[in-house]
């Protein structure tokens, strides 16, 4: 039985910043005490939860969203305060509730009993309401900290779970090993599927790699380890490993050096199964090789009879006593054979450029020199057509990083187009200049020009503009396509400006070589 409490005289709001009033449970079998406690709690800014007996208090305290701070009268019929405390402590995690025992018993033995049962504090009746307020405030603050901590722990647990999911779920092996024995000290559960040996055996193996990596890859793995230890890092390594089921997997290890708890260097690694990628890569390689070798074989097979025709005609052309009409026929046939050879060569070159398997040098190269070389090649053809060839180029070298042979081919291509598609006696100008960061070539003619509809498709394979098609001039429809393939490959761009009947200008821009 508890004595009635005095009505609170002064009140200060609790230091809590929470908008929602914190619930505080007060259990007392005396209605007057309950009323006083209710008033006091409300004044102090809490939400009072009143209970007349221990069983009710216990139920509310054990509810998931029940009060976490409680004032419990020791002396209650049925389940008393001590019993409530004992049961709450037994059924909830430590520190989940702040339980304050209120009692008229005041000797030390009782105090010890109360605290032993799990009370956080003890207040002897009659007590000063200010003291009670201060105690509740401590309890509320403690519980608020506890809740914050709980949330943090929960977040952490979630993060941990997410991390685990990541580690276990993305299909990689995550492991740690020491750099001397290379025995694993840790391996994620999923790791056994990547490595292909049971988890326990992975951890038990003295050196997983020396036991299962294919002998051909072992020297590379040793180099990789040595490099890692010497330099503290090593680029990822791909190797083959024999799995427990005798199949061979391609694995890729990405590792870094860390310091273990005992101060020894440790390797932390992630192993991916890259078998599928490797197989796809190999298939692609094989397909490209096959295409390349097919192109190479086909071109050889086509060129040989063409050479036969060409050489035999050349032989016949210079025989003594060939009638003029026959000589003319032979010359025409030779020209036709040459065109066929050009077509075959262009097809071969473009197929190789398309496959990307062509080796293109990236050496510093003066475009002035390439210009001179291309002009030398084209001059006889231009002179036959009675064209003027004009060059405008700076005296200083214009250096790019490129392959001379291919750039020569590009410029010769543009120049021969200019020669072919310009009526006799035309003017063809080659300009070379270095701009900011790019070198620019332009080839301008005053020829037939390109119809607007043709401009957009000019650089596509086998395309020939309508007016070029009707002109009786050789052309495979591959020249500009190849120019575009080469220039693009060298990180440059090519385009054309043209007016029908007035002429065309082709531009090629290439990145300048970085200054020394």
Among 79, 95, 138, 306, binds other proteins (CB under 8 A): 306
Nearer to other proteins, 251 or 412 (CB): 412
DSSP state of 401: E
CB of 310 vs other proteins, minimal distance in Å? 7
Note whether 311 binds other proteins by CB under 8 A: yes
Helix axes 324-355, 479-489, angle to 10 degrees: 30
Tokens of 293: 């070798």
CA 198 – CA 212 distance, rounded (Å) = 13
We find the least distance from the C-beta atom of residue 320 to other proteins, in angstroms, to be 6
Alpha-carbon dihedral of residues 111, 113, 119, 122, nearest 10 degrees?
Answer: -10
By CB under 8 A, name the one of 300, 362, 384, 457 that touches other proteins: 300
User: Smaller CB distance to other proteins: residue 333 or 341?
Assistant: 341
d(CA 373, CA 386): 20
Is 312 among the residues that bind other proteins (CB under 8 A)? yes
The residue among 164 and 384 lying less far from other proteins, judged by its C-beta, is 384
Is 304 near other proteins (CB under 8 A)?
yes
According to CB under 8 A, which residues from 323 to 342 bind other proteins?
341
Q: Residue 13 and residue 169: Cα distance in Å, rounded?
A: 51
**How near is the Cβ of 356 to other proteins at its closest, in Å?**
14
Distance CA 417, CA 315 (A): 30
- How far is residue 297's CA from residue 295's CA, in Å, rounded to a whole number? 5
Task: Look at residue 389 and give its three-state secondary structure.
Answer: strand
Q: Does 407 bind other proteins (CB under 8 A)?
A: no
Given 319, 328, 383, 474, the residue binding other proteins (CB under 8 A): 319
- Tokens representing residue 159 in the block: 């993060």
Query: Least CB distance from residue 319 to other proteins, whole Å?
Result: 6
Cβ proximity of 76 and 27 under 8 Å = yes
Binders of other proteins among 178-207, rule CB under 8 A? none
Find the binder of other proteins among 181, 277, 307, 376 (CB under 8 A): 307
Question: Is the CB of 106 or the CB of 315 nearer to other proteins?
Answer: 315
Residue 350 binds other proteins, judged by CB under 8 A: no
Binding mask 351-370 for other proteins (x = CB under 8 A): -x------x-----------
Of 170-178, 304-312, 363-371, 387-395, the window that binds other proteins (rule: CB under 8 A) is 304-312
| Rg of the chain, C-alpha, whole Å | 45
CB nearer to other proteins: pick between 51 and 402: 402
By C-alpha distance, which of 89, 127, 88 is closest to 106?
127
| DSSP run (H or E) holding 248 | strand 248-259
Q: Is 347 in the site for other proteins (CB under 8 A)?
A: no
Out of 320, 436, 472, 516, which residue is the one contacting other proteins (CB under 8 A)?
Answer: 320
DSSP for 21-40 reads: PPEEEEE-S-HHHHHHHHHH
Judged by CB under 8 A, the stretch of 313-321, 382-390, 413-421, 488-496 that binds other proteins is: 313-321
Q: Does 457 bind other proteins (CB under 8 A)?
A: no
Position 314 contacts other proteins (CB under 8 A): yes
Dist CA 316 CA 44 (whole Å): 121
Nearer to other proteins, 167 or 348 (CB): 348
Nearest to other proteins of 171, 305 (CB atom): 305
- The answer to the question of residue 408 lying near other proteins (CB under 8 A) is no
- The smaller minimum CB distance to other proteins, of residues 246 and 318, is found at 318
How many residues touch other proteins under the rule CB under 8 A: the total is 24
Q: How far apart are CA 249 and CA 239, in angstroms?
A: 8
- Measured from the CB atom, the residue of 164 and 300 that comes closer to other proteins is 300
Q: Which helix (H) or strand (E) holds 71?
A: strand 69-73
Residue choice 57, 61, 194, 344 for contact with other proteins (CB under 8 A): 344
Determine which helix (DSSP H) or strand (DSSP E) holds 440, and give its type and residue range: strand 438-445
Q: How many CA atoms lie within 13 A of 49 on its CB side?
A: 21
In the bound state with other proteins, the residue whose beta carbon lies nearer, of 388 and 474, is 474
Residue 279 makes contact with other proteins by CB under 8 A: no
Q: Which two tokens stand for residue 479?
A: 């020249």
Q: Cα–Cα distance between 195 and 241 in angstroms, integer?
A: 8
Cα 92 from Cα 84, distance rounded (Å): 12
- Asked if 240 is part of the footprint of other proteins (rule: CB under 8 A), the reply reads no
Give the nearer residue to other proteins in terms of CB position, either 34 or 352. Answer: 352
Sign of the dihedral through C-alpha 232, 236, 239, 245: positive
- Return the residue of 345, 355, 377, 467 that touches other proteins, per CB under 8 A: 345
CA 261 to chain centre: 32
Contact pick of 156, 315, 335, 363 for other proteins (by CB under 8 A): 315
* Structure tokens that stand for 145 in this block: 């900290």
Distance from C-alpha of 170 to C-alpha of 274, rounded to nearest angstrom: 13
Contacts with other proteins, residue ranges (CB under 8 A): 296, 299-300, 303-308, 310-312, 314-315, 318-321, 341, 344-345, 348, 352, 359
């Amino acid at each position: 039985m508890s004595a009635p409490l005095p009505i609170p005289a002064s009140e200060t709001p609790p230091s809590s910043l929470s908008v929602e009033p914190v619930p505080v449970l007060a259990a007392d079998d005396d209605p007057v005490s309950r009323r006083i406690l209710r008033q006091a709690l409300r004044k102090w800014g809490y939400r009072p939860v009143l209970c007349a007996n221990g069983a009710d208090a216990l139920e509310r305290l054990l509810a998931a969203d029940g009060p976490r701070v409680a004032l419990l009268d020791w002396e209650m019929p049925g389940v008393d305060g001590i019993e409530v405390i004992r049961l709450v402590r037994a059924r909830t995690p430590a520190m989940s509730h702040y339980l304050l025992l209120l009692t008229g018993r005041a000797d030390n033995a009782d105090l010890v009993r109360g605290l032993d049962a799990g009370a956080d504090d003890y207040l002897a009746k009659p007590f000063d309401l200010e003291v009670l307020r201060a105690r509740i405030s401590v309890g509320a603050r403690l519980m608020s900290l506890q809740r914050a901590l709980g949330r943090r722990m929960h977040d952490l647990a979630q993060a941990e779970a997410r991390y685990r999911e990541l580690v276990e779920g993305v299909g990689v092996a995550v492991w740690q090993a020491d750099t001397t024995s290379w025995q694993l000290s840790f391996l994620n559960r999923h790791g056994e599927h990547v490595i292909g040996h049971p988890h326990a055996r992975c951890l038990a193996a003295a050196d997983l790699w020396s036991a299962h990596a294919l002998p051909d890859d072992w020297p590379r793995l040793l180099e990789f380890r040595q490099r890692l230890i010497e330099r503290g890092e090593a680029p990822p390594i791909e190797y083959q490993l024999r799995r427990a089921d005798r199949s061979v997997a391609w694995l890729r290890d990405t590792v870094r050096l860390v310091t273990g708890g005992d101060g020894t260097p440790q390797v932390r690694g992630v192993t991916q199964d890259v078998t599928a990628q490797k197989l796809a890569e190999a298939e692609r390689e094989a397909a490209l090789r096959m295409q390349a070798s097919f192109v190479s074989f086909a071109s050889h097979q086509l060129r040989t009879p063409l050479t036969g025709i060409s050489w035999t005609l050349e032989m016949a052309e210079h025989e003594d006593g060939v009638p003029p009409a026959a000589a003319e026929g032979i010359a025409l046939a030779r020209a036709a054979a040459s065109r066929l050879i050009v077509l075959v060569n262009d097809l071969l070159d473009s197929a190789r450029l398309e496959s990307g398997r062509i080796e293109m040098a990236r050496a510093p190269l003066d475009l002035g020199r390439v210009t001179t070389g291309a002009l030398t090649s084209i001059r006889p053809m231009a002179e036959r057509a009675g064209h003027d060839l004009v060059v405008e180029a700076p005296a200083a070298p214009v250096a790019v990083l490129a392959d001379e042979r291919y750039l020569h081919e590009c410029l010769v291509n543009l120049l021969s187009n200019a020669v072919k598609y310009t009526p006799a006696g035309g003017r063809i100008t080659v300009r070379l200049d270095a701009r900011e960061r790019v070198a620019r070539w332009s080839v301008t003619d005053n020829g037939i020009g390109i119809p607007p509809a043709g401009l957009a498709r000019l650089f596509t394979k086998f395309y020939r503009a309508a007016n070029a098609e009707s002109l009786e001039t050789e052309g495979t429809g591959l020249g500009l396509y190849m120019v575009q393939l080469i220039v693009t490959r060298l990180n440059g761009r090519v385009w054309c400006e043209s007016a029908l009947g007035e002429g065309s200008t082709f531009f090629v821009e290439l990145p300048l070589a970085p200054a020394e």
